[in-house]
Amino acid sequence: MNSKFSRIVVLIVLAAMLVAGCAPQATEVPSTVFKVAIVMPSSITDMAFSQSMYEGLKKVQAEMGGESAMEIAYSENMFKVPDAAAAIRDYASKGYNLVIAHGSQYGTSLQQIAPDFPKTAFAWGTSLDTFQAEGINNVFAYQAEAQEGGYVLGVVAAMMSKSNIIGETGPVDAGDAKLYIEGFQKGVLATKPDAQVSVTYTGSFSDVSLMATAAETHIAAGADMLTGSSQSVVGAIGICKDKGAFWFGTQWDQTSLAPEAVIASQVYDWTGIIKDMIASVKAGVMGGKGYTLTFKNGGLVIAYNPAITVPAEVKAAADAAIAAINDGAIAP
């Protein structure tokens, strides 16, 4: 029994090491380097929420002068909140200057951890709550106004749809996905009031198979323009490609997955926010600011797929919508 038990222990340890091996560990570096750590629910290659933030960090790192000026450590696939909380605490105790908890589900944990590390700045999103009301001063918060890009892409989808049936598929009816999906719906209906917009949720951020089936269902119901949110939409994009329907992406530019099917994507550019947070921390302000990504501050960008021709009047309508959102004439 004893030897059997030790075999099992060895096996578990080996497996754990392998899994842990996937997350790059931080190495000790001189303290002049600005050290950023990020904990995220999916992977840096998810074509969505996590990738947008990771690529933003890389871009800022390159601008600041590479790894000698800024160090990035990351922990991905932290879909379990207790694991994420442990990682956040770990990074804070290792002396990271800024620890980003990239998921609204991490908020409660962050509220408990942040007061223990007053010399570390934390950030989390999507939310605008910096916990200042609770007396915590070292937390930043950020949120993408996903409904803005949703609205603009909805305008484009409505104008390009032939069947006037549009399908939207999200993970859960909450947060960033809800903002985006409702904004998109508003954009469609403002352009074509008689269009039919159907919405499905799969209940999961990672169920690629069910997301593909959701797209299949929308197309079978007559939709020719589809959109959706979360990292699992990669499954839906493939179905659009196979069935000849078109797709609109959000969070990250999803064109590369299906150049024949993706018309445009709303891309999150977090670099402005990241730079401001770093400048704040360097100036001694460790938190208390809530940031938003908008068209106005350059945090939201519509990336058209160059391989698909979008008529000039459609692009003009999209630009008009952006202008109207910027001056407040439209509130998606």
Partner 1 sequence: MAELFTLPVLVGILYSGIRLATPYLFAAIGETFAQRSGVLNLGVEGIMLMGAFSGFYVGMKTGSPWLGLLAAAVVGILMGLLMSFISITMQAEQGISGIGLHLFGLGLSSLLFKTTMGGVESIEGFKAVRIPLLADIPYVGESLFNHNLLVYAAFLLVPLSTWVLNKTTLGLKIRAVGQNPQAADTLGVNVTRVRYFCVCLGGMLAGIAGASLSIALINLFQENMTNGMGFIAVALVYFGGWRPLGVMGGALLFSFVNAFQLWIQVKGINIPSDFAIMMPYVLTILALAFATKRAQGPAALSKPYERGEN
User: In this chain, which of 19, 279, 316, 323 binds partner 1, going by CB under 8 A?
Assistant: 19
Q: Which of 114, 231, 109, 233 is nearest to 167 (CA)?
A: 233
Asked if 202 is part of the footprint of partner 1 (rule: CB under 8 A), the reply reads yes
Where in 228-247 is the site for partner 1 (CB under 8 A)? 231-232, 234-235, 237-239, 241
**Closest distance between partner 1 and the C-beta of residue 6, in Å?**
10
Asked if 4 is part of the footprint of partner 1 (rule: CB under 8 A), the reply reads yes
Asked if 137 is part of the footprint of partner 1 (rule: CB under 8 A), the reply reads no
Q: Rg of the chain over CA atoms, in angstroms?
A: 21
CA 214 to chain centre: 21
3-state helix, strand and coil shares in percent for the chain, rounded to the nearest 5: 45, 20, 35
Asked if 206 is part of the footprint of partner 1 (rule: CB under 8 A), the reply reads yes
**Closest distance between partner 1 and the C-beta of residue 1, in Å?**
10
Amino acid at 172: V
Give 310's DSSP letter.
P
**Closest distance between partner 1 and the C-beta of residue 257, in Å?**
5
- Counts of helices then strands in the chain (DSSP H, E): 10, 12
Q: Which of 90, 103, 92, 107 is nearest to 42 (CA)?
A: 103
Where in 243-282 is the site for partner 1 (CB under 8 A)? 256-258
Q: C-alpha angle with apex 240: 239 to 243, nearest 5 degrees? A: 80
218/210 Cα distance (integer angstroms)? 12
Return all residues near 85 (Cβ < 8 A) that are at least 6 apart: 106, 109, 112, 113
Asked if 7 is part of the footprint of partner 1 (rule: CB under 8 A), the reply reads yes
Amino acid at 4: K
- Convert residues 310-329 into a mask of x (bound to partner 1 by CB under 8 A) and - (unbound): --------------------
**Closest distance between partner 1 and the C-beta of residue 42, in Å?**
8
- Convert residues 168-187 into a mask of x (bound to partner 1 by CB under 8 A) and - (unbound): -----x--------------
234/214 Cα distance (integer angstroms)? 12
- Count the residues of the shown chain that bind partner 1, applying the rule CB under 8 A: 50
**Closest distance between partner 1 and the C-beta of residue 121, in Å?**
29
- Nearer CB in complex with partner 1: 101/258: 258
Contact 153, 187 (CB under 8 A): yes
Beta bridge partners of 286: none
Where in 44-73 is the site for partner 1 (CB under 8 A)? 45-47
Residues in the site for partner 1, rule: CB under 8 A? 4, 7-8, 11-12, 14-16, 18-19, 21-22, 43, 45-47, 77, 167, 173, 198-204, 206-210, 212-214, 216-218, 220-221, 231-232, 234-235, 237-239, 241, 256-258
